[in-house]
Amino acid sequence: MMDYVNAFWVGGLICALIQILMDRTKLMPGRIMVLLVCTGVVLGALNLYPPLVEFAGAGASVPLLGFGNTLWKGIREAVDTDGFIGIFMGGFTSSSVGISAALIFGYIASLIFKPKMKE
């Protein structure tokens, strides 16, 4: 039961901090998303993210910070096995399933619902 509580409050804290960042700054949402992914990469490189994921589970691994950490792990493993070229292919290999799922489900949702432009 405590795993669920930790996932809830850590994920909620991440979301609340991002909401504050969105409300208090003039940063556009796309830039905030890039900032989150880059922060996940940096935290993964500094070995600060794995203990957070172990503590909070999905509360830490599902947000965009987790995507950045996944990219970092893929690049690190590809560089270890393939050398310099791993910098360019590791991130694609590690995140390909998630990106493919987002594209496929987004396309299916666009077939089911009628998207409208904001006026």
> What would the pLDDT profile of 43-102 be if each residue is shown by its tens digit?
999 999 989 989 988 888 887 888 888 889 999 999 999 898 888 888 888 888 888 998
Higher pLDDT, 12 or 61: 12
Q: How many CA atoms lie within 13 A of 102 on its CB side?
A: 6
Is the confidence at residue 116, as pLDDT, over 80? no
Mind giving me the DSSP string for the chain? -HHHHHHHHHHHHHHHHHHHHHHHS---HHHHHHHHHHHHHHHHHTT-HHHHHHHHTHHHHSSHHHHHHHHHHHHHHHHHHHGGGHHHHHHHHHHHHHHHHHHHHHHHHHHHS------
Looking at residue 47, what is its pLDDT? 92
